[in-house]
Structure 1
Amino acid sequence: MAYESGALDATLAAAAGEDRALIAELRSAFIDSAQKQVELLKRARCDGNWHVAAMRLKGLAASFHASNLYDLAEEALVAAPGEPTVVRKIESALAEFGPSIDT
């Protein structure tokens, strides 16, 4: 979704101005952090671990104005731990932001 990436880009530009290297670094940090939370969601086997990973993902999405990712993190909060459809939706939404620059 171009809008999601556009909202992220606008947020990064607001934070970093014209510093393209800093924008790239912040974008990479966002994607890496989100991917780590998705991995934690995948490994969560109890409500507590699932909830913590979903809340972290929700906070990260809110901080970077990634509304679709935010909504999916909300969906994860009400889903059962390890719910594969929610995880796939989150992975798909995250893929729209592109790969991490470090990978």
Structure 2
Amino acid sequence: MAYDSGAINASLAAAVGADPGLMGELRLAFVESAARQADLMGRARCDANWAFAASRLKGLAASFGALQLLALADEALEGAPGDPVVMRKLRAAIEEFAAS
């Protein structure tokens, strides 16, 4: 899945202007937070913990305009807790964003 970071970049630019240092810090905070929620989802031992982490990931994605990540969080919420296919997609999307 090709990750389009254009919406996130536009959201960051709207929030901080043309400060590349601050944009970099916010991108890093986004990646770390998304990875943390994905990790919590992977370690969830009950449906409620899965849903809570997926909802937090969805909110994070929405606040940054990360539409593909938002769709994956929705997929996680609609599917079975612990779904390995969803987890692979989430981790790949986060890693791809981190590398871009």
TM-score range, shorter chain: over 0.9
TM-score using structure 2 length: 0.92
String of CA shifts for 1:33-56, please: whole Å, max 9, x gaps: 000000000000111000000000
TM-score using structure 1 length: 0.90
String of CA shifts for 1:38-91, please: whole Å, max 9, x gaps: 000000011100000000000000000111100000000022221111000111
1:7–1:66 contact (8 Å) kept in structure 2:
yes
2:45 & 2:83 partners in 1: Cα distance? 10
The letter for the 2-side match of 1:60 is L
RMSD, aligned α-carbons: 1.4
Describe how 1:8-23 pairs up with structure 2 within 5 A. 8-23=8-23
Unpaired runs of at least 5, structure 2: none
1:23 & 1:37 partners in 2: Cα distance? 21
The match for 1:79 is 79
Q: Percent identity between the aligned chains?
A: 56
The match for 1:29 is 29
What count of residue pairs does the alignment treat as equivalent? 99
Moved over 2 A (4+): none
Unpaired runs of at least 5, structure 1: none
1:61 & 1:17 partners in 2: Cα distance? 20
String of CA shifts for 1:5-50, please: whole Å, max 9, x gaps: 1111111111110111110010000000000000000000111000
